[in-house]
């Protein structure tokens, strides 16, 4: 399975995350897409994959599939529980 990260992710989101103290790497993004803890769909009908960054935060990866290739559109760190599928019981 080929995973492509857009320029937006590589040049903007990863460096911005590092400035804010988050260790967002290409490998971590790809691992989240391949083996997410949670999956979802955005309001714009795009797929999401989520994994834990720490006890209170998740990495949320928004992507689409085209011709057998996964294209990562954007990524961001969010508080756990912001998205329904990650709320703690």
Q: How many CB atoms lie within 10 A of CB 40?
A: 16
Smallest Cα–Cα separation from 41: which of 64, 17, 20, 7?
Answer: 64
Q: Report the share of the chain in percent with pLDDT over 70.
A: 93
Residue 85 binned pLDDT confidence (cut-offs 50, 70, 90): low
Task: Match domain 2-86 to its CATH number in 1.10.10, 3.30.2310, 1.20.120, 2.20.25.
Answer: 3.30.2310
**Whole-model pTM?**
0.90
Work out the mean pLDDT of the chain and round it to a whole number. 92
Instruction: Check whether 84 has a pLDDT greater than 80.
Output: no
Give the alpha-carbon dihedral of 8, 10, 12, 15, to 10 degrees: 170
Ranges of each domain in the chain: 2-86
Short-list 39, 28, 45, 43, CA closest to 86: 39
Out of 31-35, 39-43, 79-83, pick the least confident.
79-83
């Amino acid at each position: 399975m080929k995973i492509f990260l857009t320029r937006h992710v590589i040049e903007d989101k990863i460096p911005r995350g590092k400035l804010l103290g988050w260790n967002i790497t290409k490998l971590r993004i790809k691992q989240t897409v391949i083996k997410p803890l949670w999956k979802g769909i955005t309001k714009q009908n795009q797929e999401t994959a989520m994994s834990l960054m720490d006890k209170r935060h998740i990495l949320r990866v928004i992507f689409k599939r085209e011709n057998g290739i996964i294209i990562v559109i954007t990524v961001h760190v969010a508080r756990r529980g912001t998205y329904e599928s990650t709320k703690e019981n």
